[in-house]
Structure 1
Amino acid sequence: MLQQPPPWWSPVVAGLVPYVPGEQPKIERLTKLNTNENPYPPSPAAVQAIRAAATDGLQLYPDPDASALRRVIAARHGLALDEVFVGNGSDEVLAHAFFAFFQQSGAPLLFPDITYSFYKVYCGLYGIPYDTVPLDDQLRVDVEAFARAAGQPNAGVVIASPNAPTGEGLPLATIERLLQLFAQRLVLVDEAYVDFGGESAMSLVGRYPNLLVVQTLSKSRSLAGLRVGFACGQRPVIEALERVKNSFNSYPLDRLAIAGAVAAMQDEAYFDQTRQAVMNTREGLALQLEDMGFEVLPSQANFVFVRHPGHDAKAIATALRAKGVLVRHFSLPRIDQHLRISIGTPEQCGILVDALREILA
């Protein structure tokens, strides 16, 4: 960090607090359970499609509208083509949404106090004030607290469902209540982990003009390295995103990404097989952790959020790393005694459990 930024920096840059991604270590043979990646490889059909796309046409720009991918997504969710937006990972889609909808004459954006930490980063980048709404004592979204906040000026609501890092998925009735409470503002539902047991709000798109649902192919489709995300909403919402995107980068998805994403979305059998494997492993791991004395929050994501009342979370994470196992520890108020553990293969989770038993002993 520079002590004195150079004079050619824009003033806003010096005040930015960038997002810190989970560690991507360079050491081989680590059991990596810290960044919520899918432990299984992508669909073989997706890999084949990427290889085919690499053999011809890379000298040409990709389709700026990624129409083939948007058509597949629209068909899967029963929407029109022009109700789908795609971007370079869901992070880019979220960034465009913050710019497009939440700069509202200084009114604060609302989101939970414990959630995806990139939301605060986007607010800093775009100069959007925000208010956090505390989770309840069980680290669940407190819809009544949002209801109380709805009577004050606000720029909208962002909710991750399932929430990160807690894993809680919201029922559709809760999402609907938020849409009704904030009918004059956009409600963004970030569904990065929804395919691991959550209830998607996609079915509400046709009924609520103030809804935007954001998903990613990084998690349940095993394509974190390809960077593909998408959003669905009624046409005026999507048009706003398109205006921002085409004022920023007309070609966010390359030919390889479009080809691989289309094939991955079409391979429903592989998708169901791998996501079910993750969910089965998650339930088994939760039981093993509870047997060791951990408190495990209910999860509808591809991770579990845990604490051990008799052991310091940071010390456990450090000891696990020494044994070649990576998990995520957040040094943040209210959750500094929790660990977020991504769901790996049964073999990877077995390594984690063995290491934990040695550490706790």
Structure 2
Amino acid sequence: MGLSFKAAVALQDSRIDIRNFETPEPQPNAGLLKVAITGVCGSDWMFFQDLPKMKGPTILGHETVGYVQEVGAIAGPKWGVKEGDLVALEEYLPCGHCDFCRSGDFRLCNATDWRLGGPRYGATGLSVGSGLWGGFAQYQELHMNTVFHKVPQGVDPKYAALALPMSNGIEWTYLQGGAGPGQTVLIQGPGQQGLSCVIAAREAGVANIIVTGLNNPTDLKRLALAKRLGAHHTVAIGEQDLLETVADITGGQMADLVIDCASGGTASVVSALQLARKKGTVILGGIKRQKVPMFDSDMIIAKFLNVKGMRGHSYESVELALQLIAGNRHNVKEMSTHTFGLDQTEYALRTLVGEGASDAIHMTIDPWL
């Protein structure tokens, strides 16, 4: 008989139910993780709204850090981890044999796309397998294709949970955006992803980091944090004219790299093209869930822009993020602001849309509180 434990289950009527489970029988091609802590990602709100309707009750949470409890005899040699190791998981469960997996771009493997029905941590229903796919739980089953990262010695799991959002910042800003010394980088949206991009730009030696946000209490506080993390300038849209202010800051040159991390409205996509200099790069990372009206593709041609859509992170960027966190480079740990217990999971999720705790940046769920 397995261990009894608790998990937070997302239900169709947009609420969380704390349920009791038992750990599954050990399997040679699987394992078990004792969850230490799991970060709350902005996409968890989207999953909270959509997944229970599509796939039934679901354990959410994919920014998971924990201790390897069991290692199957077949899985162990593939994983390269042992029982007792503190690890951070990626959400992806790639097939391992397609062209994308073979070339190291496994985040583009169809098996990692929850929209296509494949299993993915934090986005797979209770009806699939053991159902223990999410990190908002005390234990989580480990799939054969799990992507592990060993947490550097001495790093608190709470801060290790910053690995995935921080890796997005590194991926978008440095590995894909090509940010470097002497450049101007403009980041739209001062949330988790935007602030991670600030730190990545600072680490890359960018000369001029500009962060934009809305003129409201939440964004104004986050813009102040952006300054503490390394931004040189901030722009509060509504209080300042966006294009005029950036033109003034850059001497009319505008930005070498614009990263759109803003979620929700589509205005930031339009402004991203306007804010980029000729031959500049625009990274689109903020999911809008709606089409951009009157999209001016001619501006891309006229300004000779390189426009990229971003989807998550690479293995390399997660490794770089953990190194950065281990050294608390650029005060990255300041992004970790709130920790809640399992019984506060719904409160944490609603905080993502302004209905819960104030001044939250990166939140974590500690299932043992």
Same fold (TM over 0.5): no
Asked which structure has the greater RCO (Cα within 8 Å, sep 6+), the reply is 1
From the two aligned structures, give the one with the greater strand fraction. Answer: 2
TM-score normalized by the length of structure 1: 0.31
TM-score normalized by the length of structure 2: 0.30
